[in-house]
Structure 1
Amino acid sequence: MLDLQRLRALHAVSVHGTVGAAAAALGYTPSAVSQQIAKLERETRTVLLEREGRGVRLTDEALQLAETARELMAIMERAETGIEERRGVPAGRLTVAAFASAARGLLPAALAGLAVRHPALDVRLTEVDPHLSVDLVAKGAVDVVVAHDWDIAPLPAPAGVEQAVVGDDLCDLLVPDGHPLAGRESVRREELGGERWVSQPPGRVCHDWLLRTMRSAGFEPEIVHQADENPTLVALVTAGLGVAVIPRLGRGPLPAGVVAVGLDPMPRRRVYALWRTGTARRPAVGAVVDALRAQGHVCLRREPSV
């Protein structure tokens, strides 16, 4: 008989793409995941993973088993949901994936409150890029996702996934202290031609937003420095190396040497919680979503986007 935990490990590799990423999602070591799959290969007498460059490729047989694992996990999820629903108490393990600034600015307080109110609930947080997270919840790799979208890239809504608005994350133009715009209350986008910009790398929604928005204002932004993390971008602005548009969520107090200026109209990204329809009745999911929305009232705007 096939072991469900070994199938779960194979499914995680199929979803996350690498043994290392699967291990991080499952809370195991890469060695433990490799051992689980090696045992599954012996049980099935089938090669499941093949080396491909520095990574691995799932064979056709592995892809079939991974789909079987997804179906079995869905059956188990329905059973667990039914049991928890009858008890009426949030309990058990629940996995949450969130983008970096939400993991820093939204989740700590929400999770701390949940631990006090629901001690039988074990919530595990993973930081995941927002463009990957919706697919992860749809495929059953995580239970709840915190994601965001901008006006240029609406959040995808796959079948079988529900969502709730957590709030709107407002964004400011950050400039070095002493910059000609530092004393302004607000500035229009058309006034920013000729500025040197620091930004996240290509392929990130924030980078794409900057390009499209400034092009629509009539100029091509000159991006001189790129970094993944917002604190690094703030440090580059503080050093006088450029200006940046940075969301407020998880940003923390600005250091000396950098000033926030309002943009007119003000950019914002909408933050969502997403979960599978099949788990909507699970008290644990409801408790986590309620905690996220409550914390959103504290640190995010609740008015409609414009």
Structure 2
Amino acid sequence: MLNLERLRTLDALARHGSVSGAAAGLHVTTSAVSQQMAKLEREVGQRLLARNGRGIRLTDAGRLLADHAARILSQVELAQADIEAQRGEVVGEILLSAFPTAARGLFPPVLGALCADHPELRVRTRELEPEDGIRGVLRGDIDLAVALDWSNKRLPVPGGLTRVELLDDTPDIAMPAGHPLADRPEVDLEEFADDEWVSWPEGEFCHDWLVFTLRSKGFEPRIAHLVGEHHTQLALIAAGVGVCVAPRLGRGPVPDGVRLVPVRQRMRRHVHAVWRTGAERRPSVRATVDALRTAARELSEASA
């Protein structure tokens, strides 16, 4: 009889491509992964892993068994969802991820509501960029992710996942109080062609969006500073070193010396929740989605 936890370890190795990646995804040590795989190889009587330079690769037998493991684990997840749904109680554990401003703006009210309404549910959270959150849901490492895309640059959601819109976030342009456009009621992006920009780090979806959007306005952006944390971005703007896009979701207090001006042609971030199709049968997933939608609606009403 094949051991389910060892099949789970093999599946993680196949998905992550390394012992360290599998260990991180399973929240265990690398030695625990190696021990589980050694036991699984003894169970099946074949080598499942082979050296590949400094790393490892799956043998033909390993790939074959990994394919079966993925299907078996999918069926186990479906069975667990059906059992939860039949029982109808919001219990157990759920892992929720969100990009930084959504984590700051949505996690506090969502976690507070779930703790009050469903004390038997343990919620764990991760702060992840949208692409990483969606990949985690697709791999089965995360139950539900809060992700985003922009009205002029969509983030594809792979098949097998379901998404629901939570809210639209309308960012402003943040600039130093002494900027020539600081007292304007609205601005156009083209007016910042000669300014230096503070951006999200290269490789992140929002950085790619910013470059794409500014180029579509007819100029090559002068990106001087790459900063992941929005409060740090605003601190740089307060110091007079450039301008940036400042989302309203999770914004918090704005430093002295910073002016926020709307863009005439509205920029919109679409914030949504994503989960594996069928997982909404789990009461815990339904309860978390409901809490996210309630928190998003209250934020939208407060900013209207």
Instruction: Give the structure-2-normalised TM-score.
Output: 0.88
Instruction: Give the structure 2 partner of residue 265 of structure 1.
Output: 265
Paired position in structure 2 for 1:132: 132
Match of 1:213 in 2: 213
How far apart are the structure 1 equivalents of 2:50 and 2:234?
A: 42
Provide the residue aligned with 2:122 in structure 1.
122
Per the alignment, in what secondary structure is the counterpart of residue 8 of structure 1? helix
1:78-131 CA-to-partner distances (Å, cap 9, x unmatched) read 211111111111122222222222222212321221122112222222222211
3-state secondary structure, aligned to 2:212: helix
Unaligned runs of 5+ in 2: none
Report the Cα distance in structure 2 between the residues aligned to 1:163 and 1:224, rounded to whole angstroms: 35
Letter in 2 for 1:276: R
Say which SS state the counterpart of residue 264 (structure 1) adopts. Answer: coil
Could you tell me how far 1:269 is from its partner in structure 2? 0.9
Classify the secondary structure of the residue corresponding to 1:271. Answer: strand
Q: Which moved more, 1:189-198 or 1:100-109?
A: 100-109
Q: Which amino acid aligns with 2:179?
A: H
Q: In structure 2, give the amino acid aligned to 1:199.
A: S
2:72 aligned partner? 72
Q: Tell me the percent identity.
A: 47
3-state DSSP of counterpart to 1:2: coil
Which stretch of structure 1 is more off in the superposition, 71-80 or 17-26? 17-26
Q: Which moved more, 1:186-195 or 1:231-240?
A: 231-240
User: 1:138 is matched by which residue type in structure 2?
Assistant: L
* Residues 289 and 184 (structure 1), Cα distance of their counterparts in 2 relative to 1, 3 Å cut: same
Q: For the residues of structure 1 that align with 2:301 and 2:30, how far apart are their CA atoms?
A: 40
| Cα deviations by residue, 1:181-221 (Å, 9 ceiling, x for unpaired) | 22222211121110111112332222222222222222111
Q: How many residues align?
A: 302
Residue 200 (structure 2) aligns with: 200
Q: Distance in 1 between matches of 2:18 and 2:298?
A: 37
Structure 1 counterpart of 2:121, one-letter code = L
Which position in structure 2 is the counterpart of 1:161?
161
1:231 is aligned to 231
141-150 or 176-185, which moves further after superposition? 176-185
Q: How does 1:3-152 map to 2 (within 5 A)?
A: 3-44=3-44, 45-48=46-49, 50=51, 52=53, 56-152=56-152
Question: Quick one: distance in 2 between partners of 1:200 and 1:9?
Answer: 35
- Aligned-partner Cα distance in 2 for 1:56–1:298: 49
Report the secondary structure of 2:281's partner residue. coil
Q: Do the aligned partners of 2:49 and 2:56 also contact (CA within 8 Å) in 1? A: no
In structure 2, relative to structure 1, the CA distance for the partners of 1:111 and 1:33 (3 Å cut) is farther
User: How big is the shift at 1:70?
Assistant: 1.8
Q: Contact (CA 8 Å) 1:194, 1:222: kept in 2 or not?
A: yes
Q: Return the alpha-carbon distance in structure 1 between the equivalents of residues 52 and 204 of structure 2.
A: 29
Aligned amino acid, residue 48 of structure 1: L
Relative distance call for 1:21 and 1:279 in structure 2 (3 A) is: same
- Aligned CA-pair RMSD: 2.5
- Asked if the contact 1:167/1:301 (under 8 Å) is kept, the reply is no
User: What TM-score do the two structures reach when normalised by structure 1?
Assistant: 0.88
Alignment CA distance shift 1:100-1:56 (3 Å): farther
- Any gaps of 5 or more consecutive residues in structure 1? none
Counterpart AA for 1:274: V
Return closer, same or farther for 1:63/1:168 CA change in 2, 3 Å cut-off.
Answer: farther
The residue type paired with residue 81 of structure 2 is T
Partner in structure 2 of residue 182 of structure 1 = 182
Name the CA shift for 1:227/1:88 in 2 (closer, same or farther; >3 Å).
same
